[in-house]
Structure 1
Amino acid sequence: MTDMTATDVSVASSSYSGLYKAVWRWHFYAGLLVLPFMISLAVTGALYLFDDELDAVLYRSQLQVEQVVDAKVSHADLVAAALTAVPEGKSFSYAPPATETSSARVGVKDSTGERLFVYVNPYSAEVLGVIPREGHIMRMISKIHSLAYFGKVANYVIELVACWAIMLTITGIYLWWPRGQAGGVVTVRGTPKKRLFWRDTHAVLGLFTAGFIAFLAMTGLPWSVWWGAEANKLAAESGLGYPPALWDEVPSSTVPSAEVMETTSWSLENAPMPLSTVTGAGVSPISLDTAVSTFNQLAITPGYSIDLPSGAEGVYSASIFPDLVENQRMIHLDQYSGQPIIDLHYADYGPVAKVMEWGINVHMGQEFGLVNQLVLLLACLSIVMLAVSGAVMWWKRRPAGGLGAPRIPADYRIARGVLLIALALCLIFPLMGASLIVALIIDFVITRVSGRKAA
């Protein structure tokens, strides 16, 4: 017994051109390869949207303290207290308490080179806890999200998944496009027992989720191992990223910020680290307390972290990447004079950097507060449901002992518009273009082999 009405069958039969079948075939295979990864991305991404909330619950005893009036310990002493908890450790970062009831966080590298975060009560210098950087729950979720646990090859896979997700949305909208059918456009027909219900659920949900999938894919690509790195390099070299003139006016190393700083923005990953100037023999560096006082006088948003000077030419670097992207800021202080070498605001970025940083902020659920988090949470849940509905739909139509892939069309000519869209995507995302060429070759071989068998 069929799930479709007679009218739907008639319309579908007339619309199943070679192009339609070809798009359907590519949508099927792309979904088969991409959707398992998209489920992982959606689940881990949904968790990461609420990183602050989860931290507040999971690490409450390390993060929260009771306020004690007029009893604060100096910042230098807080670092010293943290070092007592890690024998032979060396501090590399420090985050002053963001509020009157927040702990201080000291980054310490132990004798084996492992990076640890030590949380200290700012009123008593009591060590509240030590958490390995790589053992922090949100760090682990982030590495699962990017497949960083599985090496560089897996990073390329995630980049391909993001690119093919964009292709999935385009082919999905083409397949959804109304062709006179009685339903399944914005309504769902049938019951969960019928394949039609799952087909309509997949199509309608895909329609309303397509824009979010494309947005999340595009705003996730800046972190990708190839496209993101090349886009960053192009933006920096063209002057559309960070303002290189600021670095031209100060002593700088050849080491990029991402290799030295604990956290940095996407736009500043390749910006060279500035250097402190040693003015003469016997000149002493300023204290951490003086550096913190200077940062506070410069009115940087509370919640910032400080990368401590590494070596005689190192600098104090304060950075903050808060919920509102316009409050992003990075300040480098000369460790001897205590004067700002570079003080960079979001407003100083070039147009490409501004767009990228804004997109990343929205992607992480920060820019518009709770609304941002809830909307993207719904998008993540919809992506999971798309994968489930697609799998159920396929399961119900698959032939016994076969994959059930859409048949190879006899007429495989591609419409000019579709070809131009595909070419444009391949030019923008070369890695996807390379994978598409490989896929076309495989599909061509399958087509020839199937044709010979049929003959």
Structure 2
Amino acid sequence: MAKAQSSPALQPNAAFYRTVWRWHFYAAVYVLPLMVVLALSGTLFLFKPQIERWEERAFQNLPATGAVAPSTQVAAALASTPEAKLAYYRLPERQGDAAAIHLALPDGGMTDVFVSPQGDVLGSIDPESRIIAIARDIHGQLLLGRRGSWLVELAASWAIVMVVTGLYLWWPRGRGLAGVLYPHLSQGKRAFWRDLHAVTGFWVAGLILVLLFSGLPWADVWGSAFKAVRTEMGWVDGPQDWTIGGQPASETDSGEHAGHGGGQSMHVEHDHHAMGHSPMAHSPAPQGPDIAMLDRMVANARAQALDFPVQIVPPGGRAGSGGDRSAAKGWVVKSDTQNRPNRVTLTYDATSGQLISRDDFANRHLIDQVVGYGVAWHEGQLFGWINQLLGVLTALMLVTLCVSGAIMWWRRKPDGELGAPKAFSTTARPKGIAAWGLFAFLLIVLPMFTMSLVAIALVERLALPHMPKSRRWLGVS
């Protein structure tokens, strides 16, 4: 940097480089602590199927002889939980596993009652106490509710800025491969940590950006704006299959769309990830439907060979992981798999049991399909264990970035100051159409980033001039 300062010809580039470095630093101050939390909680969610099967281990590999009808299993579950109402019946994943009967309790809570193939109640699990439910609430809301979701969205927005500015700082500029594709190993600790940070950031930047952008549709501000754009552009085709800021994103559809027929219109997010939320109580089904029809619906579901978990929702019930909370208008057979492209929803007439509609992923609008692929990737379920492995590697490299960045900051931080890079006296602005275009793109697609920039500018212009100690600590000239 001293060499760049000494040459007038290099002064504008050096000033812009230092400005980008300061943006990168200030973004990291806020982002890095939250990125560690999000990386660790997100890693847990990658293994949701395995973790939930482990939680239900006591209800698996049971004798299959003497099996009773699903309606008998539901009757046993209802008898064990007075005044509870059926929300949905989840088919066993494998032969010999207990069926999970999701019940609505009188106090508004929910419980999963497990009934053996022979109709014996084996136990229950509170959905709120599951490992994944806790990890989801940490990952999406930091256990702070809606305000926490705003903090997560703000962190995700600035993390995108951090990655983009980090790539600019990493750019080789005529250097060799050492320090660019792999770290120097013989130039001391300072060079090692700097190179480890830069090289790791380069290798993981693309994966981090995919994770961040695929999580934005769940975010409160971004998701609400995206929904408004979809509605205005006519991109809405059936109910939205994800929540916004942890709240149901109910689509106000006029009439029933062919292929949906109300089958997708009864979902409440139950296993959602990405920016996260607290699970909402499912409204119980009314007691009117003929519960004996459940046996026929289970037979239909097995004949379709749908991906686990498969839910049978009686008329009026709600279940699954969509954003719309309207009640099912018939019997609904739904695959609620995290691999969203494999989701299927079948709706049957409440009285006759005849198929009314079939909703496949391919029936959805292209925009919803793109979001669905992103969500499946984000949750590590798009293409099996390889997706999970890439997710784990991304999380480990992200933590490596956070740790190496923190160590570099601590080693160079002056006493009594935050340690931000010093600003050049020369005013630095982006050079060229590409730089301005990228900056405009970030301002448009990241509303929380834009709003935070406005807030920072107001604080810097109106408050900091009267706070000299704070200005010195922050490194603001």
Match of 1:269? Answer: none
Q: 2:430 pairs with 395, 398, 415, which one?
A: 415
Q: Deviations over 1:371-414 (max 9, x none)?
A: 11111101101111100000000000011221111112212231
Match of 2:451? Answer: 434
| Alpha-carbon distance between aligned partners in 2 of 1:319 and 1:439, rounded to the nearest angstrom | 47
1:350 Cα deviation (Å)? Answer: 1.4
The answer to whether the Cα contact below 8 Å between 2:289 and 2:314 also exists between their aligned partners in 1 is: no
Match of 2:383? Answer: 368
Q: Deviations over 1:74-101 (max 9, x none)?
A: 1111111112332221121110112213
1:115 Cα deviation (Å)? Answer: 0.6
* SS of residue in 2 equivalent to 1:418: helix
Letter in structure 2 aligned against 1:103: A
Alpha-carbon distance change, 251 to 9 in structure 1, aligned in 2, over 3 angstroms: closer
Letter in structure 2 aligned against 1:66: L
2:305 is aligned with 1:310: no
Q: 1:247 pairs with 224, 243, 256, which one?
A: 256
| Alpha-carbon distance between aligned partners in 1 of 2:294 and 2:382, rounded to the nearest angstrom | 31
Letter in structure 2 aligned against 1:50: F
Moved more, 198-207 or 79-88: 79-88
* SS of residue in 2 equivalent to 1:326: helix
Pairs within 5 Å for 1:137-216 = 137-147=131-141, 149-181=143-175, 183-190=178-185, 194-216=189-211
Match of 2:55? Answer: 58
The answer to whether the Cα contact below 8 Å between 2:4 and 2:14 also exists between their aligned partners in 1 is: no
5+ residue gaps, structure 2, are: 239-252, 275-284, 318-326
| Alpha-carbon distance between aligned partners in 2 of 1:257 and 1:283, rounded to the nearest angstrom | 16
1:250 Cα deviation (Å)? Answer: 9.6
The answer to whether the Cα contact below 8 Å between 1:11 and 1:180 also exists between their aligned partners in 2 is: no
Letter in structure 1 aligned against 2:215: G
The answer to whether the Cα contact below 8 Å between 1:92 and 1:308 also exists between their aligned partners in 2 is: yes
Alpha-carbon distance change, 179 to 78 in structure 1, aligned in 2, over 3 angstroms: same
| Alpha-carbon distance between aligned partners in 2 of 1:393 and 1:346, rounded to the nearest angstrom | 47
Match of 2:69? Answer: 74
Q: 2:90 pairs with 91, 95, 101, which one?
A: 95
* SS of residue in 2 equivalent to 1:390: helix
Match of 1:45? Answer: 42
1:33 Cα deviation (Å)? Answer: 0.3
1:163 Cα deviation (Å)? Answer: 1.4
| Alpha-carbon distance between aligned partners in 2 of 1:435 and 1:306, rounded to the nearest angstrom | 45
Q: 1:230 pairs with 216, 219, 225, which one?
A: 225
Letter in structure 1 aligned against 2:166: G
Q: Deviations over 1:13-49 (max 9, x none)?
A: 7666221111111110101101111111100111111
5+ residue gaps, structure 1, are: 1-7, 267-275, 277-281
Letter in structure 1 aligned against 2:182: T
| Alpha-carbon distance between aligned partners in 2 of 1:189 and 1:265, rounded to the nearest angstrom | 38
| Alpha-carbon distance between aligned partners in 2 of 1:389 and 1:104, rounded to the nearest angstrom | 47
Letter in structure 2 aligned against 1:320: S
Alpha-carbon distance change, 77 to 150 in structure 1, aligned in 2, over 3 angstroms: same
With structure 2 as the length reference, what TM-score do the two structures score?
A: 0.80
Pairs within 5 Å for 1:288-437 = 288-298=294-304, 300-301=306-307, 303-310=309-316, 314-322=329-337, 324-416=339-431, 417-437=434-454
* SS of residue in 2 equivalent to 1:357: helix
Match of 1:34? Answer: 31
With structure 1 as the length reference, what TM-score do the two structures score?
A: 0.84
* SS of residue in 2 equivalent to 1:38: helix
Letter in structure 2 aligned against 1:68: A
Alpha-carbon distance change, 67 to 193 in structure 1, aligned in 2, over 3 angstroms: farther
2:220 is aligned with 1:220: no
Alpha-carbon distance change, 192 to 37 in structure 1, aligned in 2, over 3 angstroms: farther
Alpha-carbon distance change, 149 to 214 in structure 1, aligned in 2, over 3 angstroms: same
User: Share of identical aligned residues, percent?
Assistant: 32
